Structure formats: structure tokens, C-alpha cells
Copies of this chain bind each other. A is one copy, B any other.
Amino acid sequence: MVKNSSPSKRKSIPEPTIARLPRYLRSFAQFSQSNQLVISSKELAAVSDINPAQVRKDLAYFGQFGQRGVGYDVKTLDEKMRGILGLNKSWRLALIGAGHLGTALLQYGGFAKAGFKVEAAFDVDPSKVGWELEGVKIWGTPAIRQVVREKKIEIGVIAVPASQAQRVADDLVDAGIRAILNFAPCALSVPKSVLVRGVDLASELEHLTYFLEKSSKSDKTKNSG
């Protein structure tokens, strides 16, 4: 047992902190746009909508960048967090499903800006195959395994109906994909070595209804009190 055998074995960062890093990165972009090079944890907290104590705790994982009374250097923090998230390189994506959602994802400016490049799109509809969508060639779904391997694609984005999602996921896994972003409203069964993140659009709404329900209850309490 050798401790600290590799430089990459630093203090591991907890999952909830990792999940907040993209929000910090968005905030840094805003500070940079307004030419603010140094920020306080309080400012970062306000823009990121995260409480200040949590921000200080999160930033502590990135070493001693903060100087009391001076603040944090935006560029250093930004580079450090990008490094942790693997964003100082570009990533090769495949999009499965070239319907409305797939098209919206291709048009979505945020991906390219963040270093994500869609290398191929796939669809079951033969009338779409062979065409290009936002400069990306559309293949038939039977080609997934071959094209994903040939183009060395690293991440699969699933934007097909729930009924087709598992089959598509199986093909991606067979082709060696280890990370999947799933927009289909269903759970996927994949080997443990593959990470799936599901974007559940309804569950985002359910979080809002909790807030509405809670505040309407507190209004009623106030009115009746």
C-alpha cells in the first residue's frame, strides 16, 4: 500500500461538488464578460445561486486560491475546474434520433462552445438517412456500431422515443461507448462500466411544483393566521 503514489490521487472531490462545477463555470463566464478578474466567494455565490458557505467549501477543494480580503482569481479557478471536468480537450459525440429534439440539440449553441462536437447523427427514418442536419451527416441506426467505432466517438446522446432507447443504448455499449446522455423518459440497463445520465424533463417541472405548492400553503397559513 503506497499512499499518494500518483499525482492524480489528490483528495477526491465529492459528487455534489462536481455537479455544481458547471454552474460555477457559467458564472465565471459572466464575470469574464464584464472584465472582473477577481471575485469574492459572496459574489460567486450570488451569481451561481448557491449559498456562500457552500461556495467556500467547494472552492477549498481547488487549493488555496483565495486571499482573505482580496478574493479568488477567476481565470485560475476556471482552468482548474475545467481540468477536473475534462473540458480542456474536445469530446466526440454521436446523436441518436434526428427528430425535433435531436435537431434542437444540434442547433443548441452551448455544446460547441463547451468543446462538444457532434460527429454523427443516426435515425430510423430511411428518408432522413444520407442527409445532413446542421452540417452533421445522418446515418441509419444499423450503422451505429460501425460508425461510432470508426469515428472514435466517446459520448452517445439518446434522443429517441422511450420504446427505442434500450436498443440504441445496447448498440452504443457494443461499440465501446462509456458515457450516455439519455433524453428518453425511461431507465436504461447498461454494464457498470458505462455511465448514463438521464435528463428527465418532467422531473425538472416537479421540482417547480414543489416550490409552488409550498409557497401557496404558506400564503394560506399567513392569510388564516
Q: Is the CB of A26 within 8 A of B200?
A: yes
In which size bucket is the chain A interface? 35 or more
B18–A110 touching, CB < 8 Å: no
Contact: B155 with A200, CB < 8 Å? no
User: What is the interface of chain A mostly: helix, strand, loop, or mixed?
Assistant: helix
Cβ-defined contact, B114 with A8, below 8 A: no
* Chain A window 81-118, contacts with chain B (Cβ cutoff 8 Å), 1 for yes, 0 for no: 00011110001010000011101110111110110100
Pairwise interchain contact A16-B18, C-beta atoms closer than 8 A: no
**A68-92 interface mask toward B, CB cutoff 8 Å, 1 = contact, 0 = none?**
0000000000000000111100010
The chain B residue sitting closest to A115, CB to CB, is: B209
**Stretch of A144-152, A167-175, A213-221 that contacts chain B:** A213-221
Q: Tell me if A204 and B199 are in contact (CB < 8 A).
A: yes
Residue A124, interface by CB 8 Å? no
Q: Which residues of B contact A23 (CB under 8 A)?
A: 200, 203
Oligomer: number of copies:
2
Kindly list chain B residues whose C-beta atoms are within 8 Å of the C-beta of A185: 108-110
Does A207 reach chain B (CB closer than 8 Å)? yes
Partner of A111, one of B18, B85, B201: B201
- Given the complex, which residues of B lie within 8 Å of A221, measured CB to CB? 5-6, 8-9
Give complex CA distance A86, B202 in Å.
Answer: 13
Q: A6-B221, A86-B210, A221-B6 are in contact. Are A205 and B100 (CB under 8 A)?
A: no
Query: What's the least CB distance linking A190 to chain B, in Å?
Result: 11
Q: A47-B187, A101-B104 are in contact. List 7 more A-B contacts (CB 8 A).
A: A16-B16, A23-B200, A114-B202, A155-B208, A179-B208, A180-B208, A193-B215
The chain A residues found within 8 Å of chain B, CB to CB, are: 5-6, 8-9, 16, 18-19, 21-23, 25-26, 30, 47, 84-87, 91, 93, 99-101, 103-105, 107-111, 113-114, 116, 154-155, 157, 162, 178-181, 185, 187, 193, 195, 197, 199-215, 217-218, 221, 225
